[in-house]
Amino acid sequence: MPARPRFIQDLKRTHSCGVLTAADIGKTVVLFGWVQNRRDHGGCVFIDLRDREGLTQVVFEPETDAEAHQLAGTLRLEYVVAVRGEVRSRGSQVNPRLPTGEIEVRATQLEVFNRAETPPFPIEDRIDTAEEKRLAHRYLDLRRAPLQKVLVIRHRMNQAARTYLSGRGFLELETPFLIRSTPGGARNFLVPSRQNPGKFYGLAESPQLFKQLYMVAGFDRYFQIVKCFRDEDLRGDRQPEFTQIDLEMSFIAEPDVFAIVEGLMAELFRVAKGKEISAPFPRLTYDEAMARYGVDKPDTRFGLPLCEVTDLVRAAGSGLPLLPQAVEQGGVVKLLCLPGGGGLSRTELDGLEGVAKSFGARGLARAKIGAGGEWTQSPLAKGASPEFRAAVGERARAGEGDVLLFQFGKPKIVNGVLGQLRTLLAKRLGLIPEGRDDLLWVVDFPLFEYSDEANAYVASHHPFTAPRPEDVAHLLSEPGRVKARAYDLVLNGNEIGGGSIRIHDSAVQAQVFRALGISDEEARAKFGFLLDALRFGAPPHGGIALGMDRLVMLLAGGESLRDVIPFPKTQRGTDLMTGAPGEVGHAQLDELHVAAVPVAGAAKDTG
């Protein structure tokens, strides 16, 4: 009796588990995969075999092959097996929910490559297992089709970006991760240098300076799909290491960057969603965005604009409680008009005050407009004259039954609170149209922002961002009014990219450092290499970086970045699978010339 052919050595995989159809009936096939499900009828045994492409039903019958049938009885979920058999019609018993539902494979040979312990959670499309448990066994979570689908889309987006940019003269060039720790901006992860006692590398928070140096070196167009590292507190849309599509171009201005990115976004939408988007994208100035939406990344898919009434309050005078005082102190008064009160109950509206406070508000004055234009349920009702109410109503286009939500005080707080309320209410009231995608550019950011904490101006983008030429004269005299040649790309209220035209003139760069309160010596010490580079013939240049993870999340679907990053960290930056970050021994620390300081109140030293 001749030896049976062996799987892998003699019998190669002929098909994946997602492709067989009625057209394949009669073929002998070899499938490899995992046992998704088994239905054992004693006589015949059904197995759903799974690989990354899909599911195929395999049937084992004693009369077809007794040995395979007997072995099939021992199969359990997630066993890794090989099957050889004949593709057969299911006759009238098709499964319309499966792409391969017209056929099944009648097995003539079965081998178990590996058995599996019972998984800690089911390997199914829809599970409600705690994320904590899924992250601890991420390799099992990644077996599930929804995650595999996202990573396939992510692959396509990476491919599309490379193809698109390469086709337009961009070179994919690498930059170091281990760099000099840069002050300001995001906190760097530090890496102690064994060879240089007492010194540290910083992990690059972006390739910013190096891509500029590529421009100085004459590479003209650079791109990279690159990891960035930032040691800041995390959110659902922020991870300590994340990926950017980073690009930089020489001899260009803003419209050139916009055109390239608009084309790139069109490609990404195409491969991720099969959707065509229209370009150019609308442009909104930073000031317009703040005035109308309260944020610099407005979601324009719905209305609910903010409405400023500072001037009306000033004109109305002192009859009103609180408001005029806020205006006198240089504050602003803005409001959000909820048509028909948004259909919210009084209790729900009351609850908004707590929400507003969580966003930094001191309170949330509101007013419901009555039939005669009077204000009710409002602390402002008493002091507001009919004229004031009418003027406010007209400006806010408000009428009977509408509810006005007021904020007054410092613009930053007022805008922040109302801006966040606006998006929250839109979600809660279902105002966001399904399937709509709004892409837009926000431009003319301020070059500097005043930091109360630092008691000084700080760069709002980064210190290498070019000021608008007409503002250069004000750099030192009125830094607050200088606009930057910076731009953000916004998708549905999410910042998905940001960039700028850079400073290519060392004299301007020196002035910016001075405006930021960075002394020549300090600038020399920290960015000497860049200042030098700018003096040796730097071309005009600029670029942008797109947040790849966030893009995948928004285009492929996902609640958080953890759904689109294969091996993500928790909110505290830990990896529940590997246990990173972990403790290291004294010997390792000694070698690095580093000593760990025990945390106050910590349990004990396990060294």
Specify the pairing of strand 439-443 against strand 283-285.
parallel
User: Can you tell me which residue has the tokens 């690498």?
Assistant: 174
Contact (CB, 8 A) for 17 and 100: yes
**CA 462, 572, 126, 558: dihedral to nearest 10 degrees?**
-10
Q: Give me the least distance between CB of 7 and RNA, in Å please.
A: 23
Q: Give me the least distance between CB of 464 and RNA, in Å please.
A: 8
- Of residues 160 and 356, the one with the C-beta less far from RNA: 356
- Of residues 78 and 267, the one with the C-beta less far from RNA: 78
Q: How far apart are CA 399 and CA 384, in angstroms?
A: 16
The DSSP line for 434-477 is TT---EEEEE--BSEEEETTTTEEEESS-TTBPBPGGGGGGTTT
CA angle, residues 54, 55, 56, in degrees to nearest 5: 135
- What's the distance, CA 526 to chain centroid? 30
Q: Give me the least distance between CB of 385 and RNA, in Å please.
A: 35
Q: How far apart are CA 174 and CA 136, in angstroms?
A: 32
Kindly state the tokens that stand for 259. Answer: 């055109």
Tell me how long the chain is: 607
Q: Give me the least distance between CB of 375 and RNA, in Å please.
A: 29
Residue 466: which of 445, 486, 449, 446 has the closest Cα? 486
Q: Give me the least distance between CB of 558 and RNA, in Å please.
A: 11
Cis peptide before 207 (omega within 30 of 0): no
SS3 state at 112 = strand
Residue 308's identity, in one-letter code, is: E
- Of residues 62 and 539, the one with the C-beta less far from RNA: 62
- Of residues 16 and 325, the one with the C-beta less far from RNA: 16
Q: Give me the least distance between CB of 48 and RNA, in Å please.
A: 7
- Of residues 377 and 570, the one with the C-beta less far from RNA: 570
- Of residues 342 and 498, the one with the C-beta less far from RNA: 498
SS3 state at 214 = helix
DSSP 8-state code for residue 400:
T
Q: Give me the least distance between CB of 527 and RNA, in Å please.
A: 10
- Of residues 345 and 358, the one with the C-beta less far from RNA: 358
Q: Give me the least distance between CB of 253 and RNA, in Å please.
A: 21
DSSP 8-state code for residue 481:
G
Q: Give me the least distance between CB of 355 and RNA, in Å please.
A: 8
Residue 546's identity, in one-letter code, is: L
SS3 state at 220 = coil
- Of residues 88 and 149, the one with the C-beta less far from RNA: 88
- Of residues 22 and 186, the one with the C-beta less far from RNA: 186
Q: Give me the least distance between CB of 99 and RNA, in Å please.
A: 12
Burial class (CB in 10 A: 0-12, 13-18, 19+), 193: middle
- Of residues 91 and 585, the one with the C-beta less far from RNA: 91
